[in-house]
A and B are shown apart, each in its own frame.
Chain A
Amino acid sequence: MAVKELIYEGYEFKISYSLKNTKEKKDLVILHGWGSNKELMQHAFENTFSDYRHIYIDLPGFGGSSNDKMVLNALQYSEIISAFLKLIKANIKIAMGHSFGGKIATLLFPENLILLSSAGIKEPKTLRTKLKIFSFKILKPFGMGLFHPLFVAKDGKKLSKNMYETFKLAVNEPFEHRFKEYVNKATLFWGREDTATPLSSGEKINHLIPNSKLYILEGDHYFFLEQGDLIEKLFLQRVEQ
């Protein structure tokens, strides 16, 4: 893990990150979902996309990255991540995001976008249900064993006030138009059994993004954990077409 500090809208943020394949010149940035962290994403993808330098980032308020005071919407998150990427002189060719991280990856406007069960489509559920789903249900199926201490910590505890407000924004802010505005190449992957961001959301996003293709894989909201190789293969096939 490494840490960089940056000032955004007058507040100091500590951004925790890690790099992989540091000799490569093209960058792939990978963003985790709500309540998760970069270690989870690194576990899934560190042995894939070997022609790229990987940049794993803890979003502010998660993992080792701080957010003590600000209530952030997705655009602000993306501006912080952009500022960070500029600091490390990144040359982003691909941005990948899971769930909430998918929205931020979209707003980075990369040449190539990879969305894994992205958030961004409003589902007719109450906020309370959503919080429950995000906090507990989706964390259970793939084993509290190995990863438990890595990314459950923040969720097990009560969210701080500003992060609770941030969460409300995350699930309520309209985002459909952002997908429409993204005109570069998007590759979407979805878990067929996903109950947090259902497949119907994937189909909607696939429809909203003009240049998009949707691949449906086996699994739930965390379908990608053991399928990094397949995701890489399908992505490269599509890009080379």
Chain B
Amino acid sequence: MKLGIIFGGNSYEHEISIVSAISLKKILFNLDIFIFLDTDRTLYLIPKDKMKAKTFSSGEYKKEKIVTLSNSKLLVGGGLFKPKEIQADIYINGIHGQDGEDGTFSSVLDFYNLNYIGPRVQASVVSYDKHLTKLYAKEMGVKTLDYVVIKKGEDISNIKLPFDYPVIIKPTTLGSSIGVNIVESANDLEYGLDIAYEFGNSVIIEPFIDGVKEYNLAGFRANDYYFSMVEEPQKAKFLDFEKKYMDFARTEQVFKAQISQDLEQKLKDNFINIYNTIFDGSLIRCDFFVVDDEVYLNEINPIPGSMANYLFEDFSMAIDLLTNYLPMQNRIDIKYQYIDAIHSAKGK
């Protein structure tokens, strides 16, 4: 089974995606094909030995071959010569944030009938927008923290939050910690909103619980559910963008959570409720809070940094398992019975 990865994208998390792809190269021995999506949405085939951060930051990737899509395959070359098919059986959608996690590239892969690991469109819809995540989680019986959604231009002069300060403000549709900030008092609310508005027109405000217990659990559904260890992420006040960025580059040094079997089971049950069948085909990481023994979903990462490989004992095996359980496109056999029936009725 030969794997390929598509990474980059027109996204604030473009660079994180590059770092992720490079770290996966070191871990997945059968990952051989590297396809870079630049911010102009051109795809390039990057030779394995050029999978270094500098290839991208220097713009050298532009010298590489351009990739085009065709039914069930990716191609390079063309012009006078016959385009060559890229030999990968399954692609990992490794584009973080916009273009990747928002469902854009999933749609492209589905449209071209390519096999891939990653969230399908519905999964992207419910995980990319934090407001929709809340609504979905509620429907699936998973608790989340209280929240308020505010849109740019909304009058906030008389706003009363249904919870106390400090609060945490997040752009509604971004992953990582970009634009996320903590506001200590009503006085600083407007500034906090302006910070988040730089990255989108809608923000979500939640209570900020200092020192809250945080647990991350990755996994997927094959025949059965397959889980990673539970991680208790290290945190300063909260993981800012840079720290999370560093986080993506790591390949070891995980902080295994010291929790009861009971709590571990609770986290898994919540994970299963979220995963449902919507997330089939993807390896996701759910980040949870635990307050007074209650589990709350913080966010769903349908394309976690470096595929959360560091949480799995045998990551290669996990990926092998998942590749046998990818949703297939349903090819509809059109028989033209209806049109034929009309024609014969009209006697033509």
Contacts and interface: CB of A to CB of B under 8 A. Distances in A.
A163 to B, nearest CB: 21
B197 interface: yes
A153 B152 CA distance: 29
Nearest to A5: B152
B191 A22 contact: yes
B198 A16 contact: yes
Nearest to A3: B198
B195 interface: yes
A22 B187 contact: yes
A2 B195 contact: yes
Nearest to A19: B191
A1 interface: yes
Interface residues of A, number: 12
Interface string B165-201: 0000000000000000000000110110011011000
Interface string A19-38: 10011000000000000000
A4 interface: yes
Most interface-central of A5, A17, A22 (chain B CB within 10 A): A22
Contacts of A146: none
A239 interface: no
A200 to B, nearest CB: 41
The secondary-structure label for the interface of chain A is strand
Contacts of B197: 2-3
B105 to A, nearest CB: 27
A5 B194 CA distance: 10
B188 A2 contact: no
A64 B187 CA distance: 24
Contacts of B194: 2-4, 17
A2 to B, nearest CB: 3
Contacts of A22: 187-188, 191
B183 to A, nearest CB: 9
A64 B199 CA distance: 12
Contact of B195 (A1, A5, A88): A1
A16 B198 CA distance: 8
A4 B190 CA distance: 10
A1 B198 contact: yes
Interface residues of B, number: 9
Contacts of B152: 5
Contacts of A2: 191, 194-195, 197-198
B54 to A, nearest CB: 15
A19 B187 CA distance: 13
A169 B190 CA distance: 35
Contacts of B190: 88
A5 B152 CA distance: 10
A57 to B, nearest CB: 12
Contacts of A3: 194, 197-198
B152 to A, nearest CB: 8
B273 to A, nearest CB: 37
Contacts of B195: 1-2
B186 to A, nearest CB: 12
Nearest to B152: A5
B185 to A, nearest CB: 8
A1 B199 CA distance: 10
Most interface-central of A1, A2, A3, A19 (chain B CB within 10 A): A2
A2 B196 CA distance: 7
B237 to A, nearest CB: 16
A3 B191 CA distance: 9
Nearest to A22: B188
Interface string B191-232: 100110110000000000000000000000000000000000
Contacts of A5: 152
A6 B314 CA distance: 53
Contacts of A16: 198
Nearest to A14: B198
Interface in A140-169: none
A5 B197 CA distance: 10
B170 to A, nearest CB: 14
A19 B198 CA distance: 15
A205 to B, nearest CB: 34
A166 to B, nearest CB: 24
A1 B181 CA distance: 11
Interface of A: 1-5, 16-17, 19, 22-23, 64, 88
22 contacts: A1-B195, A1-B198, A2-B191, A2-B194, A2-B195, A2-B197, A2-B198, A3-B194, A3-B197, A3-B198, A4-B194, A5-B152, A16-B198, A17-B194, A19-B191, A22-B187, A22-B188, A22-B191, A23-B187, A64-B198, A88-B190, A88-B191
The 10 A-B residue pairs with the shortest CB-CB distance, nearest first, are A2-B194, A3-B198, A2-B195, A22-B188, A19-B191, A4-B194, A3-B197, A3-B194, A2-B191, A1-B198
Given A3-B197, A22-B187, A22-B188, 13 more contacts: A1-B198, A2-B191, A2-B195, A2-B197, A2-B198, A3-B198, A4-B194, A16-B198, A19-B191, A23-B187, A64-B198, A88-B190, A88-B191
